[in-house]
Amino acid sequence: MDVNLALSPQAIAFARLDSKPAVLAAVAGLMAAAYGIDREEVLENLEAREALGSTGFGRGVAIPHCRSKDVRRPSLALIRLEAPLDFAAADAQPVTLVCGLVSPENAGATHLHALAAISRLARDEAKLQMLAEAPDAEAVYALLTHQFERDAA
């Protein structure tokens, strides 16, 4: 199934962040810079979703996600953390890869399909290892665009 996930090279960063709030702020900042959406709205929506329960997926991956009136299709931001961070994940493992997702407000099934595509990536040990070893954001972008193109086929 084609999730039609937007991924901009400007939405990928390597960063040293020391708290979950700092991660959510960084995701909102990347979303605003890469996709021209309202940073404050995204941050508020990410924080509200996180308050419902941790989006720490497990296996070192977090998938903070929300919806926004400003996007037309699910949009992704990725942060590779330079140091592991406690994200209250279900498996209690610290997070090193953050996949932020913002979907349109009315994108029920589309949002779920986008989350499923990201979770497939998070369960792929080989792909996670390649992302962990990628030398720069350009290499991460190439890996991810290939992954999502393959999923859409």
Q: So which residues are the catalytic ones? A: 65
Which DSSP helix (H) or strand (E) runs through 79?
A: strand 75-85
Distance set, CA 71 to CA 9, 31, 35, 41, 44 (Å): 17, 10, 8, 12, 15
pLDDT at 147 (0 to 100): 63
For 2-39, how does the pLDDT look when each residue is reduced to its tens digit (9 = 90+)?
467 899 999 999 999 999 999 999 999 999 999 999 99
For 38-51, how does the pLDDT look when each residue is reduced to its tens digit (9 = 90+)?
999 999 999 999 99
pTM recorded for the entire structure? 0.91
The token pair at 141 is 């972008």
For 50-63, how does the pLDDT look when each residue is reduced to its tens digit (9 = 90+)?
999 999 999 999 99
pLDDT at 41 (0 to 100): 96
pLDDT bin (cut points 50, 70, 90) of residue 1 is very low
Query: What is the signed CA dihedral for 24, 30, 33, 34, rounded to 10 degrees?
Result: -130
Rounded Cα distance, 151 and 153, in Å: 6
Contact 34, 10 (CB under 8 A): yes
pLDDT bin (cut points 50, 70, 90) of residue 153 is very low
Those residues whose C-beta lies under 8 Å from the C-beta of residue 146, and which sit 6 or more positions away, are none
Mean predicted confidence (pLDDT) in 78-98? 95
Domains identified in the chain and CATH numbers = 6-152 (3.40.930.10)
Answer whether residue 145 shows pLDDT above 80: yes
The token pair at 42 is 């995204």
pLDDT at 39 (0 to 100): 96
